[in-house]
Structure 1
Amino acid sequence: MTHPVIDALLVALTADPTNHAVRAHVARLLAEAGRPEEALTHATAVLAAVPDHVEALRAAAGAARALGDETKAASYGRLADALAPVDPPTTPAGAAATPSPVPLADAPHTGAAAVPDTADEILEQWSGSEPVAEPALGTLGQAGVTLADVGGLASVKKRLDLSFLTPLRNPELSREFGKSLRGGLLLWGPPGCGKTFIARALAGELGASFYEIGLSDVLDMWIGSSERNLRSIFDTARRNRPCVLFFDEMDALGQKRSNLRGGGSAMRGVVNQMLSELDGASTENDGLFVLGASNHPWDIDSALLRPGRFDRTVLVLPPDVEGREAILRLHLRGRPTERLDLAKIARATDGMSGADLALVCEQATETAMEESMGSGRVVPITQRHLQEAAKSVRPSIGEWMETAKNYAMYGNEAGAYDELAAYLKKRRR
């Protein structure tokens, strides 16, 4: 028996076989659909590359149990439980229930609505209010960071400030120049370069809640359920305004409908629902800022990139040498160090993503901790530790760059990848 959503995701995997989030979700759906052999194959493929992937571990546990291998199922399950984040304490019996939605204004609307003069006035009607609706899907909370916490990426932060933050902070100037405050923002680029962290930082800059949605929060193998999930997510975000609603893996959620044939046609409904919610066809989206992230923007349906939707795009590339030094400094903050020349390490890690640099710092830290345990005293992280770690970590974005180069060279008729082409040309020099 086939399932349209599973079939559509399998098609997506043929174009992007290293997308571990999609493959892990496919494994879970296959296990739920009674196809444990296939589920275990996909789950173990993810675990071979990412051994601590919790969703893949849970899918592998379920598949192994269905196949009668209780020993392996228990092993996968224990590891998943150990790695899973701890749930927050539950509300005691008799405690206050989730508060009712806070009115957007103290008095009823009469006549024409007043036009706010500043970004503070735009957000004033929500100021001081806590999130008013607990999400059934995804993760909702306060951002806790701003762009000042983002290491490096100076050009990206400048673009974001000009194209996204400045219009929101200066609505009167935007009206003067006829610039709309509607529409979303798509962050795209190689994996591990900080797209999710940047989205969270933007929420912090706006003083808004951050509502993070993953692939598994939306897609369901039963026809119609994915669309209902998407509607519920947008409704929750609207009740928690001001809110940054962030969708990861947009290339999987918003696949090109022209490529969705046969079993993949069920995903058309997901794309159509996304378009409807972005347009605010039946509801108002004021105070709702929709962001998306994608490693493969060329796989996204073009309708999602039209004005009023994800009409602004920002390329997030691997950090330059100054950015790498800033990221290293950020990850080493608060750890015991001694005589570090981070500029030298930054020069030696050309081509590494932010995630690669974080791994360099983690490996250097582990080595210092091991030496500390052996000597009985705290051994700080030294230049030697970082140099050894930098040599052992290989840049993880080479395969993405090869794919991206083809689109920049042969699929750039509309100029969507001009910035990427310029970056690749600069690196060839």
Structure 2
Amino acid sequence: MKQTQTLSPQMMQSMEILQMGSQELLEYIENQVQENPVLEMEEKYGSQDEASVLQRKLEWLESTDTQNRVYHQQDSEDDGKDPISNYGNADETEENLYLYVLSQLQVMELPPEVLAAGRFLVESLNQNGWLDEPLEDLATQMEQPMEVVEKALAVVQSLEPAGVGARNLSECLVLQLQRRHEDSALAIQIAKDHLEALSKNRYGLIAKALGVTQEEVHAACEIIRSLNPRPGSGFAARENLTYINPDIFVVNFPDHFEILTNDYFFPSLNVSSYYCRMLKDSEDSEVKDYLMGKVRQAKWVVRSIEQRRSTLLQCAEHILELQEDFFRHGPGHLKPMSLADIAQRVGVHESTVSRTVKDKYIQCASGVYPLSYFFSRSLGGSADASSPDAAKALLKKLIAGEDKKKPLSDQKLCELMSREGCELSRRTVAKYRDELGIPSTTGRKQYE
């Protein structure tokens, strides 16, 4: 004889719903409504047009975020302009680099052969907006003389985004610098002839070669670093952009926080009153059995979704309570927190918390984060030790304050962080530095 625990299909279904993300749950609801006639789905946005839906979204943002409230009010006060009419209706040409550049080329008055060559060049752009193939090879493919192709290239390089049609990094930066209003002659010179020295922070070498001061070189290099070396990358990224629907919103007030669930994203589910009456009035045993099973299933789905919402809200409330410094001050203030900490406060098992935070997102003043982001181990093994997030923030602070002529080595950073109460090995410091995108000592050093 032995005692075993088994899970009913309803319990398994409830656990599956608990760990579903927003999009997955929405698809699940739609499938359940199609399979179960007793379930009725009430769209919260009904049959409204896109403008009214967007208006409600803007009102939601206005009521939950002070910054968006300011922007929304400015749009609403703009006389003669409908804040909804042009919002989100970007033409498809703005989503595609090729069409975006070609639309500018089409309206220019050009000789037919130059226009045809320009189209060919635009079609030859890679996703970064550069021309990979040599101009001579392109001219051969077009069966056009080099003179015509060079004129077409000059036209393409004059279009937006700045830097499009460049054949290398130097030319891309120069094209962008030539459109700047301020004096960028020195920056253009550096971009043309001294990019390698710039990559190694050899300001003294550049200053000596060009006969200017290091301060002037430093200012020019900062201008170059502010440019976009891949002018077409924004268009390529936008084509495959995936939007996240946060499950939880945290609104900051001066004296408290407010947590809201994203109920607007999900339709309301109800058990059909028509089929309930039919179940009550029908005398056919088969019909009653069928409807009874469907009603029971529908009620369980509704209950499971509500239980998911309730558990998610409880977990979010305790995460907010334990990570209040993060929500007030942003990244760098994350404290060590485990699944067991939340499970103990909510009164559930750790596996339940794990399922609850899986594929769920929270939106706060610092941005949108997965709920799993807030669970981090303690670097020192004690509750008061630093988290990886705090360690990275301290690492950035130390590197930002270092002498750029004598940057701190990973070992020295390790020692300084230890003095601040953050015990890390040299290898861990190097790992965190790489994750932050900070170069090594050689890459950070500025030479005389």
Q: Which TM class, normalised by the smaller chain length?
A: under 0.3
Structure 2 length normalisation: TM-score? Answer: 0.20
Structure 1 length normalisation: TM-score? Answer: 0.21
Higher Rg of the two aligned structures: 2
